[in-house]
Amino acid sequence: MTHDDFVAFLEAISTPFINRDYAAWRRVTLIPFSMVTKDGPVALGTEEAMRRNFDNYLLACTALKLDQILRKPIRLEDCGDGTVIGTYETELLSRGHRATAPYVSSGLIHHTSEGYKLSSILNARGHHSWTGRDPKTEGTT
């Protein structure tokens, strides 16, 4: 993965939430999908769990009145096995203003025959902070 590939991938994992496009999100993610949040790990092992989590994130986008998600690349680390760890800063914006403080996350990105796909996020914020829904209810199924 090149720096330009990473920039394009960060856009590809951001716009599905603004465009409310679940199919676009699934094109760039793998199941099982995992996230580590401040409240602990969340595992999404089925299509239904992925969809439920996506829909809950959309509730957070609505609550925060988000119209842009910016992810800025910080670092890429080649794992030597067809995966990379991509670290990036996320800014959630509403009408050009930050809706929350920026935060840094890392994702495990796989090079597949269908392109790059994300399987895990470390320091994910997801919807949990804004929807009040317990991460454990979105967990392993």
Domain of 15, CATH number, reads 3.10.450.50
Report if residue 136 sits inside a domain.
no
**What's the total number of domains in the chain?**
1
Torsional sign, CA 12, 137, 131, 87: negative
**Half-sphere exposure at residue 35, Cβ-oriented, CA atoms within 13 angstroms:** 21
Report if residue 132 sits inside a domain.
no
Report if residue 97 sits inside a domain.
yes
Domain that holds residue 35: 3-124
Report if residue 68 sits inside a domain.
yes
pLDDT in tens, 116-139: 999 999 987 654 454 444 545 544
44 in Cβ contact with 32 (< 8 Å): yes
Report if residue 61 sits inside a domain.
yes
How much is the pLDDT for 31? 97
3-state secondary structure at position 98: strand
3-state secondary structure at position 99: coil
pLDDT in tens, 3-36: 999 999 999 999 999 999 999 999 999 999 999 9
121 in Cβ contact with 107 (< 8 Å): yes
